[in-house]
Chain A
């Protein structure tokens, strides 16, 4: 089994008003070193698949067709091979 962690964020260069509002709030709280905040989505997907290459191919297709809108968003993912469960 493979667990995938997918991050979807607005492309750099696209204004992120939510990130900007959070940045201003952090500054209000005294975190003066905050340079930039970008807000995105985080998805965890469990795949019934043991081959990382196969999993990556599927994940890329999922991101391109549904999970991200590549007009405005970019995505990245990490894969983690999970130990198979012992037979019950």
Chain B
């Protein structure tokens, strides 16, 4: 299937995503410059991690106004699968494709470490290769991953099973101590109400190869491939 990986000025995980998809999973990958206005024929789009526009003003605030984002919004509205990783998640929030906003980590530090993350909803196109309750080791690397939203939106996220990933302990229990950045309700990743847009702070592309000693992230990309193929049948 055809994947578009958007490249913003300051993206730095675009090549990692392309490598995992093309070299690891045999996918057809196009790197798409943020200044382009069309995605072309794509089955899925990835907004990669990085520091688009130097995180000026707010993370993702300037990138969401890039010309290509209009095409990404139309693609999402038409039901196309959109995955935002780390800075990509922040851009999706600023673009209004996902609800809420990011605050600076509660400890004020840039956190670069492996954390435990639990799959809360395995019934999405992004998680169908996981099982609900599955606990994984995912790397995070961010300074603004402290997810925030208003109580009404949080209740809706919970009621609609839109919280897909949460920070947890190794045994899967969700505690304040297991929350690396102060994120509301230990949220590590959410999807939109329609279910075709996912944003997460952890980096699945950094744990998708056996040579790295961790392939937990590969199942996310394979889930998306499976979902697209199933949709085409």
Q: Is the CB–CB distance between B57 and A71 below 8 Å? A: no
CB of A53 closer than 8 Å to a CB of B: no
| Tally of contacts, chain A with chain B, CB under 8 A | 32
CB of B133 closer than 8 Å to a CB of A: no
Q: Is the CB–CB distance between B108 and A66 below 8 Å? A: no
Residue interface bits B89-111, CB-to-A below 8 A is 1, else 0: 00000100000110111111000
A–B complex contacts, Cβ < 8 Å, 30 sampled: A14-B103, A14-B148, A15-B103, A15-B106, A15-B182, A17-B104, A17-B105, A17-B106, A17-B107, A17-B108, A17-B182, A18-B104, A18-B108, A21-B108, A41-B57, A66-B57, A66-B61, A66-B65, A67-B57, A69-B58, A69-B61, A69-B94, A69-B101, A71-B100, A71-B101, A71-B148, A71-B149, A71-B150, A72-B101, A72-B103
List, in ascending order, chain B residues with CB within 8 A of A15's CB.
Answer: 103, 106, 182
Interface size class of B (residues with CB under 8 A): 10 to 19
C-alpha gap A54/B82 in the complex (Å): 38
C-alpha gap A71/B149 in the complex (Å): 7
List, in ascending order, chain A residues with CB within 8 A of B106's CB.
Answer: 15, 17
List, in ascending order, chain A residues with CB within 8 A of B107's CB.
Answer: 17
List, in ascending order, chain A residues with CB within 8 A of B105's CB.
Answer: 17
Closest to A68 in B: B58
List, in ascending order, chain B residues with CB within 8 A of A17's CB.
Answer: 104-108, 182
Closest to B62 in A: A66
B64-119 at interface with A (beta carbon < 8 Å): 65, 94, 100-101, 103-108
List, in ascending order, chain B residues with CB within 8 A of A21's CB.
Answer: 108
* Least distance between B157 CB and chain A CB atoms (Å): 13
A70-86 at interface with B (beta carbon < 8 Å): 71-72
* Least distance between B182 CB and chain A CB atoms (Å): 7
Q: Is the CB–CB distance between A72 and B148 below 8 Å? A: yes
* Least distance between B21 CB and chain A CB atoms (Å): 31
A1-58 at interface with B (beta carbon < 8 Å): 10, 14-15, 17-18, 21, 41
List, in ascending order, chain A residues with CB within 8 A of B148's CB.
Answer: 14, 71-72
Q: Which 4 residue pairs spanning A and B have beta carbons closest together?
A: A71-B101, A72-B101, A69-B101, A17-B108
* Least distance between B158 CB and chain A CB atoms (Å): 17
List, in ascending order, chain B residues with CB within 8 A of A10's CB.
Answer: 103
List, in ascending order, chain B residues with CB within 8 A of A14's CB.
Answer: 103, 148
